[in-house]
Structure 1
């Protein structure tokens, strides 16, 4: 865009930020706009009033239509909030999301081919906002090579309607890279705690920082309109400048929502935003079931002083077990929303941490991840195949999306995939040092070929990663021969309970051994936790 064209199309409020209602702010979104939305699951920094007002406007007027949506992570509560406020036929031309699973209505439209739909790694979308802000053409990264984001596979496309045009394979410095093309926003919705009369936005009551600064800068520098939802409006100069994350020079419209909650599950929890610290032993322990057995076996892989990443789902139980045992201070948990330290929240509240040590911008967290800053990562899985490939993103008509999975699984030194062996009704009861499988799950998660490659085993072997797959009944590792069985839980028959449920000839390690029986008893684990795997 030339400077003259940029001036003609500049939508910014030159006289400073304007106060508007959610409805009036939503009315500023035009047909064909590229709308960037900040926020994360469970209501974390979700500009919910703006999304709701925009969705209601479309229902009333069929406008705006032809939108392109950009969001880095899953936004919503899986029950109709977040991006599902915008889940309407005919509203969108294209959606680029880092994660989709928190908005099942949008997922349904994407799978049905209602609009062009892409799923890129969360870190790529997060960093893309920063690249757009700096006037660069997109993100060049190794993240996604060999996965469904690779243009030699699906190029991140989620349906047949979507053209293969936003990801290219390029060669630089003798290496292959993926080039994700920039999508500059023309309007954005972000959220903070307070705004002053100059539009400076603070985040002191929020549980993360996410991409809000990068989104605002990208939109502002693209000549677009920055709309910020906040809980409080205060006098000029009332906000400590050290608390300002988004400066007023990047903000055009402020929407005050006094009833704004910190999270969907809590109006305000100061332990999530750093105002206080709670006693971690007060957190609810995990029930003693198959999921806890997976977490107990997984936690054995952590070494003192490790930098750890925990994924959402069964993997987030690792921190709960460590806190229950009093081990949480021996290593540092991190999550992709920019949280460092503390105990990551579980379930729909994933994205926050209790007692965090630091909160940094999400693009910077992904820089740390992509460069190899994680010692060990614990991630879930929906499918694992005979090669060791993992699918977490799409299976059948169920769309979840990658989130930060690709950035994390591709770059951690050690990756531990955590999950039950089967799902859908599994009843596996631990006790007295053995596991009793009283009912098998209906769905087999270990399959000959995954439906979509979220983690590419062949690329991992090239990188020399250490990769384990931990279930309640067995542990597998990635070898040049593919998925290889290396541990079996006491009480489990390797042939009847494992190999018979796999539709291929499973590789078995020469040093096959039993899982430690102590994790199958309800008693606290001994303090010599690092040596458990050798006893």
Structure 2
């Protein structure tokens, strides 16, 4: 019996109350768009399926109508366990209005938990999330009043604390891949990442659920070599062919993004994203570049001849661009949590894509590498941080954001460099001549007495003996057992007016406060 069917037929396989596992990343990365839209169409026409529980590790959508936005209908979804929420403002609104139960999990934990579910093990036992919002003592992953379940519990083993993330059955997996042969074997050959496709399919298969795979092409029997098959036919229940499937929402196909091209860079789309990327190379020098320059100094100050590095989204991706512009990629091993090594990272809506990558692993394995201590240094952003060294990126202004891979990365890197601006909303700065001047202070202070939510735990960082820096355009801080210490100030900045008066707590002041290199604030010269 053939496993191939239409998207509408596949959507009919989902029952009321099912737990549905999703995969994908912002910009359409490995997103089963055709399947998502088919489920939405069925619900709008028939009001079924209803009361679904959705789980996804990373952010999925375009902040408009795609991705998780397809499921953001009252009645369609009852509960969402999301790694990252910002790509679906509609789902964020449902959470804010208490129309759904809203939860978050670290992105890596989600991928690894799916694997544990598929293996029939009693959940995921890990140190990742201790002291953060995912710790039941700090909220248990609950993001609104409707959310009542603790997704994890604290356990003791060999005299140490761990979290056990609790397993649950996955009734349906909506998976994206490149091709399927007539037998139902699945290949990822033309995809820009692997993400958690295997873990998700495994969880549904061994939960007695259904594995539904969207592919771009149907191949004859025997067309796939054994080593090209990433999900075997034995795991697959249904296959939907979407000949219009793209590498991203705007890029039809690019072999440089799928790792099939190792020579000259190709980028076949002349989309708005491409134009924006090209224009980004010519933006005026700003505080973003200044922070990136200062942060880049830390990259080769880890004690490793060739450190393993992860770049987060936001200001940290400016660090990646700076290293690429300097031609220094050969001095490090570049990774991103999606499972990709090497290459040239894309940013903005295409964060998670890399051109000419040197390796692509599945996400669960990548996060295993991080959790085990393989990451030497990470550059991450921050929404706010407090006097205890805690950082918040998961809930800002009462809005559910989610951590993505932030918790897994920040908690496990040997050295963490948080990068961002000292204040927000209405800030006016001037730089480019070797100094930083504040023309107008911001209305929102980001260095607060207590963060709204703990996405990174400063006390846990001390326990794990991490080196932790917090770099801003005005001053640099570090985590110490005595608290946050200010050890460096930007040239042109008034310490009291521009830094201390813009903080809600008083930091320790290092003896012999130093001044940042003026070259960090000089336009040109990269």
TM-score by length of 2: 0.94
Counterpart mapping for 1:194-273 below 5 A: 194-273=179-258
Does residue 97 of structure 1 match 2:82? yes
SS in 2 for 1:46: coil
- How far 1:87 sits from its partner (Å)? 0.1
Q: Which residue of 2 aligns with 1:120?
A: 105
Q: Which residue of 2 aligns with 1:67?
A: 52
Are the structure 2 counterparts of residues 265 and 491 from structure 1 closer, same or farther at C-alpha, using a change threshold of 3 Å?
Answer: farther
Q: Tell me, yes or no, if the aligned pair for 1:387 and 1:483 is still in contact at 8 Å.
A: yes
Does residue 309 of structure 1 match 2:346? no
Gaps of 5+ in 1: 1-14, 526-535
Task: Tell me, in whole angstroms, the C-alpha distance in 2 between the residues paired with 1:62 and 1:293.
Answer: 52
SS in 2 for 1:130: helix
- How far 1:432 sits from its partner (Å)? 2.2
- How far 1:356 sits from its partner (Å)? 1.0
Does residue 294 of structure 1 match 2:295? no
Does residue 187 of structure 1 match 2:183? no
> 1:189-213 CA distances to partner (integer Å, 9 max, x unpaired)?
0001111101111111111001101
Number of matched pairs: 510
Gaps of 5+ in 2: 267-276
SS in 1 for 2:214: strand
Task: Tell me, in whole angstroms, the C-alpha distance in 2 between the residues paired with 1:80 and 1:259.
Answer: 18
Q: Which residue of 1 aligns with 2:148?
A: 163
Q: Tell me, yes or no, if the aligned pair for 1:37 and 1:189 is still in contact at 8 Å.
A: yes
Q: Tell me, yes or no, if the aligned pair for 1:305 and 1:330 is still in contact at 8 Å.
A: yes
Counterpart mapping for 1:47-446 below 5 A: 47-277=32-262, 285=281, 287=283, 288-303=285-300, 304-446=305-447
SS in 2 for 1:20: coil
- How far 1:411 sits from its partner (Å)? 0.6
TM-score by length of 1: 0.92
Task: Tell me, in whole angstroms, the C-alpha distance in 1 between the residues paired with 2:265 and 2:5.
Answer: 41
Bigger shift: 142-151 or 242-251?
242-251
Counterpart mapping for 1:39-54 below 5 A: 39-54=24-39
Q: Tell me, yes or no, if the aligned pair for 1:151 and 1:164 is still in contact at 8 Å.
A: no
Task: Tell me, in whole angstroms, the C-alpha distance in 2 between the residues paired with 1:111 and 1:520.
Answer: 40
> 1:131-179 CA distances to partner (integer Å, 9 max, x unpaired)?
0111112111101100111111200111112123321111011110101
Task: Tell me, in whole angstroms, the C-alpha distance in 1 between the residues paired with 2:291 and 2:330.
Answer: 21
SS in 1 for 2:299: coil
SS in 2 for 1:372: coil
- Measured on the aligned residues, the alpha-carbon RMSD in Å equals 1.6
- How far 1:329 sits from its partner (Å)? 1.7
- How far 1:386 sits from its partner (Å)? 1.6
Task: Tell me, in whole angstroms, the C-alpha distance in 1 between the residues paired with 2:351 and 2:342.
Answer: 14
Q: Tell me, yes or no, if the aligned pair for 2:8 and 2:39 is still in contact at 8 Å.
A: yes
- How far 1:506 sits from its partner (Å)? 2.5
